[in-house]
Chains A and B, each alone.
Chain A
């Protein structure tokens, strides 16, 4: 078993509305799994089913090969998108309470909380009330509470919302470190740049159906267009352009450069290699810029949603 979490055709209806239709995903151990989809696609429903907050109508969920059971909540850390803390309770008390609800003993929880508070440099907040803290500060505490019990599976729903760039980076590094220590992470977000940065697997949910999943690199290969962004310096640009047009599919490109280049996107045919293009180009002009246009997660997201 290489997958930590498997959902097997999980469905959920709310009255007439189908929130999730036979969604099957497999989250490999030690991966950062991006759960993507537009608003209202069913991501949160799936996450709530994994957390046993919502009971699915049909389908099953396996954690580490076992069917999901009540005691598994101790192995999951969940940071919901709609999150907050008791306003009038002290930071330390609150963190201890939440840790104990996850099955930790008080002494152990205290020790680990101290470690994390020191690590994120918030040691002196212990006796403050949440209402005295800013939103970003409260988010740090929520993050600590999520990871404190060293769960095998971490689920973050929009973890970076509300953080300033410095703290967002801090949290990102912590997530990466937790993965390095063996945790598996499910990561739900709209921010494609953080998907690009962090995720090695993704699944795309649209209108309650899973429409795409797999390794991010594989998917990118699948969506590759074999198009190259090229910047050329030549005396007779129109002639070069004409010659290119005969051999390849070209269109105008836009990128920053220092010289007054001829900027083109050039698509090669399956029977052609990038080297063919490059050697052709070097024979005609000076190549200042040569770059494969790799589809971004954002492109894939928009394209897949549009096609469905």
Chain B
């Protein structure tokens, strides 16, 4: 067996046999699922709370405007004074009292509406009350102007712009949301992977230094081989852990959904909310059809290949930097000053991905950042579902691979000098010097 595979095998086996690794692997998905289930449960609890709202309308403008819903009951009060109404509502422990005072015209009335409640009312409730009242007052005003409301209602049109690129690719709002989810998940996965397993590589390099075994090892193995072996072995352990997480997570999610009858889909994440809004107008059958079509229209093969390439490239790029940091220092507390320059571009990539790519996937900012090697893996993975020309992907990959090779060379230099340096925390200046040794 050659040295590289021996090192990979050892790194992999010691990682997955490690007790804390095993505990983390089994416990993490359980904790995650438990948290998700808890949040889902709490959300449901909140949604299910029944509210009764009393309405004292002295203007007579909003009679029968509010209709009871599943969670909210509206009670109309009449012929009582405001103070009495307040007392009644409070004693009945109702959610609140909406008071609409009388005025000389609609404008006057609309400025004298008050909501009384024990605690500060929910903002969403106030907003919904406001928008319902605004619509009603608008209709009233139109009536005053002698406009026939039924005619206006008849002229309302429902517009849904369907989108199509010049090449004939159809898309829609739902499609865009799906692309965001795909790209976001890929980018975020890479980000997490780099942070978790990059650190693990760094720790394992430091461990060899502190246990003083390093000189024994590198009298048999070239430092570059040792470094690559560590990176690959740890990554394989990471992939194993991820797969186990997905399997356990999937099983747990299914079990909990069935046993506790909690509908995970009711959890409101921003994307789902967006998705629900865009789908509100569609019939159920149409929804499934649209999602299916959108899924098929995603550039699946391109997505998979790009994911693999950018994932490997980006991950290796960062993990070689982590390995170099591990080699340069003596213990974990000394790593802080070197971590910043690594974390900055990574976090920047995620921010650019989240804020810019959503806004404009092919804008200047997103395009530029999808070429810069330290940010390209995350940003490009987020852009690709929206369709990126192959030549752009090619250039980005080439830049990434070029930089990766440069980084490995650079990291290997630091590594081979750093692993034999004990006792002091090096400065950046010294590390640059090491490159010449």
User: Which A residues lie at the B interface, using CB under 8 A?
Assistant: 14-15, 48, 51-53, 70, 73, 76, 78-80, 82-89, 97-98, 100-102, 142, 145
Contacts and interface: CB of A to CB of B under 8 A. Distances in A.
A83 B420 contact: no
Contacts of B436: 15
Contacts of A89: 14
Given A15-B436, A86-B14, A101-B3, A53 B218 contact: yes
B138 interface: no
Nearest to B215: A80
- Interface centre among B208, B212, B219, B221, by most chain A C-beta atoms within 10 angstroms, is B219
B433 interface: yes
Given A97-B10, A101-B3, A101-B220, A87 B211 contact: yes
A145 B219 contact: no
A97 B218 contact: no
B6 A83 contact: no
Contact of B216 (A15, A70, A76, A142): A142
A81 to B, nearest CB: 8
A89 B433 CA distance: 35
A78 B219 contact: yes
Interface in B177-226: 207-208, 211-213, 215-222
A86 B213 contact: yes
Given A80-B215, A83-B212, A142-B216, A88 B6 contact: no
Interface of B: 1, 3, 6, 10, 14, 18, 207-208, 211-213, 215-222, 420, 422, 433, 436-437
Contacts of B6: 97, 100-101
Contacts of A51: 219
A123 B74 CA distance: 84
A15 B220 contact: no
Nearest to B3: A101
A15 B437 contact: yes
11 contacts: A48-B420, A70-B222, A78-B215, A79-B216, A80-B216, A84-B216, A86-B211, A100-B6, A101-B3, A142-B216, A145-B216
Given A82-B422, A101-B221, A53 B215 contact: yes
A145 B215 CA distance: 13
A98 B216 contact: yes
Given A97-B6, A98-B220, A102-B220, A83 B215 contact: yes
